[in-house]
Amino acid sequence: MAVTGLVLVALYLLVGTLLVEIAASLWSARPDPVLFAAALLGSSLVFGYASYRGGTARILSSLEAVDLPRERAPQLHARVDRLSERMGIERPQLLVARMPAPNALALGGRRRGVVVLDASLFRILSMDELETIVAHELAHLESRDSLIQTLGFSVAQTLSGLVFFLLLPVGLFVAGFRRALRWLRGERPRPFSQHLQRTHAQVASAVVVLMLVLTLALRAHSRRREFAADDRAVAVTEKPMALARGLARIERASEPPGGLLSSLYIHGTEENVLTRLLATHPPMQERIERLVELGESTWHRIEIQ
């Protein structure tokens, strides 16, 4: 076993030396770092945009959303016309679907955007409340929030894959050297297949931690964008209390479903610290209280004037 261990140590040192030489030759012939980073970022954004376009089509297909004709909801269409003009965006297509919960979601950007409304919203909300909910979704279109989030996750995945690619050879070398030392100590190591699986899992765990940090940053940005969309909806409708009532009615009428569409829904609940950190939306009650305070401050300014 000692001889086997010495042979393995020599073998791993030889392999490590060869890897260092290969890495050094690659480093000497490396492309310009700025160009490499730009190419990596560009490819990540291209793939992210393709994923975004394909994901939008899949979402609309899964919802089985249908067009909302103007003659079926003339008041809502007229208000959407006014809101789109005020916000300087192309008027989005209005669709209706039967979702698992009363909600609304926005897909797209300032041009060729889509707003999908659950059919139950027309039953539980007044026209003013529905207008503010739609204005909130239009704010997401105005800021291209769904696209930015998708591109952000694409970049995070690319960065995590690059880190995994860089760490795996190091992990294999260190684990192999430890395997040789076990032979030197007279201990029989695990089978080689288990050795590879364990090393892969350890490197993957480090990458998962990195991906978690990036995900938390993206989720925090998503929650900030929800507050910004609320503010923008209030600015263009001047109806903070209507938006607060609309959100409260949605909260009372439903529980948020999980799955593919969960990050697009208005609704958001948080049960513990980790759930709050990973949530795409702030707690509904926090948003409502914030809107109520905004409405009260507005009335106070009007009374003073």
Model pLDDT, residue 49: 83
What are the extents of the domains in the chain? 33-61+143-304
Model pLDDT, residue 211: 86
Model pLDDT, residue 68: 94
The answer to whether the Cα torsion of 209, 210, 213, 219 is positive or negative is: negative
Is 1 in contact with 183 (CB distance < 8 Å)? yes
Query: Which letter does DSSP use for residue 91 in this model?
Result: P
The pTM (predicted TM-score) of the whole model is 0.73
Cα 233 to Cα 228: distance, rounded to the nearest angstrom: 9
Model pLDDT, residue 304: 44
Is 134 in contact with 83 (CB distance < 8 Å)? yes
Model pLDDT, residue 259: 52
Per-residue pLDDT of the chain (305 residues; tens, 9 = 90+): 677 767 776 777 777 677 777 767 766 766 677 776 787 788 888 888 888 878 888 888 888 889 999 999 999 999 999 999 999 999 999 999 998 888 899 988 888 899 999 999 999 999 999 999 999 999 999 999 888 888 888 888 888 888 887 777 777 677 776 777 777 777 776 666 666 677 777 778 888 888 888 888 989 998 999 999 999 999 999 999 999 999 999 988 875 555 555 555 555 555 567 677 777 788 888 999 999 988 777 654 544 44
Cα 1 to Cα 304: distance, rounded to the nearest angstrom: 89
SS3 245: helix
The CA–CA distances, whole Å, from 15 to 1, 9, 172 equal 21, 10, 11
- Report residue 18 as tokens: 């060869």
Which burial class, exposed, middle or buried, applies to 123 when counting CB atoms under 10 A from its CB (0-12, 13-18, 19+)? Answer: exposed
Is 164 in contact with 207 (CB distance < 8 Å)? yes
